[in-house]
């Protein structure tokens, strides 16, 4: 697919109506197919009428068959064949242009959404409402939008032409009858089908329950427990009960809608019959040609097709336009401030100093403050531990220290040596190992180079980082795929963590953060993670977030969090002397071994 690389950013066309937006986009990205699309669409109606009239001519010739005029007939028939072939060719070319434009438009849509998502502010990213908006935006099919606009126009023109032709031959009353009945039908159908929809409003939740129960009974993660406790018969009968009642509801809906469809079809068939009768009698009696009959018969059949098609396309268009609104509103979401471009030559990697002054923070979606009255100064090169129970605010403070969120009240400042670092630049020299670090189902190389994309082809650096993180015990090549999803090697939790740690060894940093690196790991992997923290902390400011207090014995300062506030701070010795909450927690944890 030769995709044009011409730039055409969203901002340039933000205020265009949807039709023009799509047309311009596709024209810029794929000119040939866009032109082909429009030409074939334009030719559609004329070719149809050429087909109809040539057929009429041929049928007349057959009716008034004269063996002498054989050559004449052959000529006309060949002409008809030519028209038919052109019609076939035209629709093939149209189909081809559509499939090509579809590929282009899907790619462009997905790319624009992906790009936008990667630029959203942290607050928006973590808000579940954003995900819903994104899912809605993805439902747009740009090519459908274009095709529906074109469809509506073309169908409308065809409809008018058909009506004109029929009227020219004197059947304008027939036209009005057909039009009237159709419109009435469509209106009543719409009303009735809305009522039918209301019947089965609650189907989705019962379907989800049924699928959930079936999954429990078949999934290898749940089966050991299900079988051991012999839960199967209970769950199965639950499932069957739900299924049967769901089916009854659904079947009722199907019966109603089928009855509706049937009565609708019956009326159309009667109307069709009456049309044929009228045409047959009028034309037959007036001694006019069979060709005319065939022509008008075909035209009136087309009317039966075009009018419902037009309504369908119109309502689809309305839906697509709404989806377009969802799409543009997603693209209008707030972006975060971009990091300043990195200037490699004079990289200042002095350890970071962080100063937090009377800071309060509340998540946009919460009512209460997650953090209150935080005051701390982290000196360059210090090793810090944030401890406290789950939900005490430690991880949130880390995000704020990374500059990912702005404080709700109060101040955070960062300094490298004498220079102040702005919030959006903090992550430039920061290395983080998150609790839920990325496990990329891609080559090992990419998993590690994630830490510093410039080293993606620098094998020696990648390997040395792996060695330092002790991630190379299984001795596989850098280009091996890891992760089960694409048939790569399966790694244990500890092995994945060592890869994530290897990322941290790829570049120098001013600030290093380890967020709960020990959850759900065996004690030996835990200790390894802690060793890494200590090793890396030799050159930079480092913070570890943990609830295993044996780690906090070795850091320079500990901050104990409770309900979003710092309740105690100091070294391990100081806090043990204070005889407060920290000491109690430490004793509880060590009581296992005393």
Partner 1 sequence: MRKEGFVLKSDISNIVMILVRMVRKSPVISTITIIVPIISGLLTFYSYAVQVNIINGVARGVITLLPILWFVVIHGVQACSLSITNLMKNRMNAELTLAFQSELIDIANRVDFEDFDDEEFGNKLQRAKKVVGEDLEGITGFLVSSVGIISGLLSIIWLSATSGYLLVTFVVTIMIVTTLSIRLFTEIKVRRTGRELTFDGRMGDYLANTLEDPNAIREMRIYNSISYFTNLWAMIMKKQHNKRFSARKFEIKTGMVVAMVQTSAIFIVLVYLLSRMGESNTVTVGTISVLFLALLSSGGKIMSLTWPLSKLYISSSKLYDLNEVLTYKNRDFRKNDINNSTDSMLPITVSNVYFKYAKSNKNVLSNINMTIKPGEKIAIVGENGAGKSTLIKILLGQYRPSSGTICWKDHLEPHGKVSVVFQNAVKFELTLRENILLGDANTPSDDAKILRVLEQCELIDLLHELGGLDVNLGQLVVGSRQLSGGQWQKLAIARALYNDAELIVFDEPTSAIDPNAEMEIYTKLLEICQDKAAIFISHRLGWAKNVDTIYVMNNGGIAEVGNHQDLVHHKGIYSNMYALQSSWYK
Please identify, among the stretches 10-18, 124-132, 370-378, 458-466, the one whose residues bind partner 1 according to the rule CB under 8 A. Answer: 124-132
Task: Give, for 36, the enclosing helix (H) or strand (E).
Answer: helix 31-63
Q: Is 347 in the site for partner 1 (CB under 8 A)?
A: no
Q: Which is nearer to partner 1, 317 or 504 (CB)?
A: 504
The phi and psi torsions of 116 (rounded to 5 degrees) equal -65, -45
Binding residue (CB under 8 A) for partner 1 from 140, 142, 216, 359: 216
Using CA atoms, how far apart are residues 300 and 177, in angstroms rounded to an integer? 11
Binding to partner 1 by residue 255, rule CB under 8 A? yes
> Applying CB under 8 A, which of residues 27, 141, 243, 314 lies at the interface with partner 1?
243
In the complex with partner 1, which residue's Cβ is closer, 250 or 312?
A: 250
Interface with partner 1 in residues 65-104 (CB under 8 A): 65, 67, 70, 73-74, 77-78, 81, 84-85, 88-89, 92, 95-96, 99-100, 103
Burial of 268 (0-12, 13-18, 19+ CB in 10 A): middle
User: Considering only residues 366, 390, 419, 460, which one is a binding residue for partner 1 as defined by CB under 8 A?
Assistant: 390
For residue 354, give the 3-state DSSP assignment: strand
- For the window 433-472, what string marks contact with partner 1 as x by the rule CB under 8 A? -x-xxx-xx-------xxxxx--x----------------
CB-CB contact of 316 with 144 (8 Å): yes
Of residues 256-295, which lie at the interface with partner 1 (CB under 8 A)?
Answer: 258-259, 261-262, 265-266, 269-270, 272-273, 276-277, 280-281, 283-285, 287, 290, 293-294
Q: Coil, strand or helix: which one is 281?
A: helix
Sign of CA dihedral 158, 164, 170, 173: positive
Which structure tokens are listed for 236?
A: 């199965």
Torsion sign (Cα): 97, 103, 107, 110: positive
Q: Is 430 in the site for partner 1 (CB under 8 A)?
A: yes
Residues paired with 386 in a beta bridge: 545, 559
Site residues (CB under 8 A) for partner 1, limited to 128-157: 131, 134
Q: Cβ 95 to partner 1, closest distance in Å?
A: 7
First-last CA distance in the chain: 70
Closest approach of partner 1 to the CB of residue 550, in Å: 4
Question: Would you count residue 367 as binding partner 1 (CB under 8 A)?
Answer: no
Rounded Cα–Cα distance for residues 372 and 396 (Å): 11
Helix boundaries (H) for 200-231:
203-218, 223-228
Size of the site for partner 1 (CB under 8 A): 142
The yes or no reply on residue 531 touching partner 1 (CB under 8 A) is no
Based on its alpha-carbon atoms, the radius of gyration of the chain, rounded to whole angstroms, reads 36
348 binds partner 1 (CB under 8 A): no
**Per CB under 8 A, does 495 bind partner 1?**
no
Q: Does 589 bind partner 1 (CB under 8 A)?
A: yes
CB 381 within 8 A of CB 354: no
Q: Restricting to residues 28-57, which ones interact with partner 1 according to CB under 8 A?
A: 55
The one among 170, 212, 364, 422 contacting partner 1 by CB under 8 A: 212
Q: Count CA within 13 A, CB hemisphere, residue 188.
A: 10
By C-beta, is 77 or 156 nearer to partner 1?
77
């Amino acid at each position: 697919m030769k995709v044009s690389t011409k730039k055409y950013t969203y901002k340039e066309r933000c205020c265009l109506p949807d039709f023009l937006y799509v047309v311009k986009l596709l024209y810029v990205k794929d000119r040939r197919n866009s032109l082909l699309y429009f030409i074939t669409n334009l030719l559609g109606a004329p070719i149809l009428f050429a087909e109809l009239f040539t057929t009429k001519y041929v049928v007349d010739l057959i009716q008034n068959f004269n063996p002498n005029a054989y050559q004449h007939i052959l000529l006309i028939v060949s002409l008809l064949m030519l028209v038919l072939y052109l019609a076939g060719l035209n629709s093939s070319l149209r189909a081809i242009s559509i499939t090509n434009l579809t590929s282009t438009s899907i790619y462009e849509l997905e790319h624009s959404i992906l790009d936008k998502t990667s630029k959203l502010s942290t607050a928006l990213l973590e808000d579940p409402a954003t995900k819903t908006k994104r899912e809605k935006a993805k439902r747009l099919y740009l090519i459908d939008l274009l095709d529906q606009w074109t469809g509506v126009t073309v169908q409308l023109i065809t409809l008018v032409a058909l009506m004109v032709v029929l009227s020219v031959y004197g059947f304008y009353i027939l036209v009005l009858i057909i039009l009237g009945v159709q419109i009435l039908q469509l209106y009543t159908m719409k009303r009735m089908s809305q009522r039918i929809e209301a019947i089965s409003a609650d189907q989705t939740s019962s379907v989800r329950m049924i699928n959930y129960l079936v999954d429990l009974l078949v999934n290898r993660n749940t089966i050991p427990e299900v079988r051991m406790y012999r839960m199967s018969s209970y769950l199965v009968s639950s499932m069957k009960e739900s299924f049967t009642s769901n089916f009854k509801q659904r079947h009722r809906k199907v019966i109603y809608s089928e009855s509706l469809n049937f009565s609708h079809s019956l009326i159309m068939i009667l109307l069709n019959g009456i049309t044929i009768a009228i045409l047959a009698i009028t034309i037959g009696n007036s001694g006019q040609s069979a060709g005319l009959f065939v022509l008008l018969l075909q035209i009136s059949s087309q009317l039966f097709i075009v009018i419902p098609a037009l309504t369908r396309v119109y309502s689809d268009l309305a839906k697509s336009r709404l989806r377009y609104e969802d799409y543009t509103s997603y693209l209008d979401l707030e972006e975060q401030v971009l990091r300043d471009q990195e200037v490699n030559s004079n990289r200042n990697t002095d350890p970071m100093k962080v100063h937090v002054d009377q800071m309060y923070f509340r998540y946009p979606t919460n009512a209460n403050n997650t953090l209150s009255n935080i005051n701390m100064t982290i000196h360059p090169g210090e090793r810090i531990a944030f401890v406290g129970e789950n939900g005490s605010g430690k991880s949130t403070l880390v995000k704020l220290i990374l500059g990912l969120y702005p404080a709700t009240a109060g101040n955070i400042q960062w300094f490298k040596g004498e220079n102040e670092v702005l919030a959006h630049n903090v992550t430039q020299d920061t290395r983080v190992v998150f609790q839920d670090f990325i496990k990329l189902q891609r080559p090992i190389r990419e998993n590690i180079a994630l830490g510093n994309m410039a080293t993606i082809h620098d094998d020696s650096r990648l390997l040395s980082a792996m060695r330092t993180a002790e991630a190379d015990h299984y001795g596989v090549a850098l280009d091996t795929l890891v992760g089960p999803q694409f048939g790569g090697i399966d790694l244990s939790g500890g092995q994945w963590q060592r890869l994530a740690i290897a990322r941290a060894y790829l570049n120098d940093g001013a600030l290093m953060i380890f967020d709960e690196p020990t959850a759900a790991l065996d004690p030996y992997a835990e200790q390894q993670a802690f060793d890494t923290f200590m090793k890396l902390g030799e050159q930079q400011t480092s913070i570890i977030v943990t609830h295993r207090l044996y780690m906090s014995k070795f850091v320079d300062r500990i901050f104990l969090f409770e309900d979003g506030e710092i309740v105690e701070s100091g070294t391990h010795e100081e806090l043990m002397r204070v005889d407060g909450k920290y000491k109690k927690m430490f004793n509880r944890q060590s009581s296992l071994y005393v």
